[in-house]
Amino acid sequence: MAHSKLRIISKIFTMKNFASNLEKRMIKTFAEHEMMYANHPFQNYHQNTEVCSIAIQELKKEYNRFSRNRTLNEEVIFYKECYPIIAKWQLYFHYIHQLEQSLFISYLELKIKTYKNCMVKLNSDFKKKNFYFHVY
């Protein structure tokens, strides 16, 4: 019993560790992309989104490898604590990519107005529990 509990804890620890290491690698890649695509911000955001989706696939692969006979508890921990570490970046870059593309030709005042509108809409969506990211 004690042995199986220890096994689960170690498995969870390894999974979390893997996710945080993956995030560190991703952040390093984001910095490289920022240098590489300094004059092409859309390309930068697009590449970062791609990196994130590859990282999510990697994480899921690792998760499947570690827990072939996974329990519900392990599944919850994966989706609650490991998956968000990587997925948040994908959502973030996807949103910014869409937003910046829509504002590409806009003048300064319109840009400020749109950023402010986005903030207001995001806040109101979260208050209403609409957990979707739309670019307005």
Shortest Cβ 48–other proteins spacing (Å)? 12
**Length of the chain measured in residues:** 136
Gap between the Cα atoms of 13 and 87, Å rounded: 19
By C-beta, is 3 or 24 nearer to other proteins? Answer: 24
Gap between the Cα atoms of 48 and 92, Å rounded: 10
Shortest Cβ 43–other proteins spacing (Å)? 18
Gap between the Cα atoms of 52 and 37, Å rounded: 17
By C-beta, is 3 or 104 nearer to other proteins? Answer: 104
By C-beta, is 3 or 39 nearer to other proteins? Answer: 39
By C-beta, is 54 or 87 nearer to other proteins? Answer: 87
Contact residues for other proteins, defined by CB under 8 A: 72, 75-76, 79-81, 83-84, 86-92, 95-96, 108, 111-112, 115-116, 118-119, 122, 126, 131-133
Gap between the Cα atoms of 98 and 46, Å rounded: 9
Shortest Cβ 27–other proteins spacing (Å)? 12
- Cα of first residue to Cα of last residue in the chain, in angstroms, is 53
Shortest Cβ 88–other proteins spacing (Å)? 4
Give Cβ neighbours of residue 22 (< 8 Å, ≥ 6 apart). Answer: 55, 58, 59, 85, 86
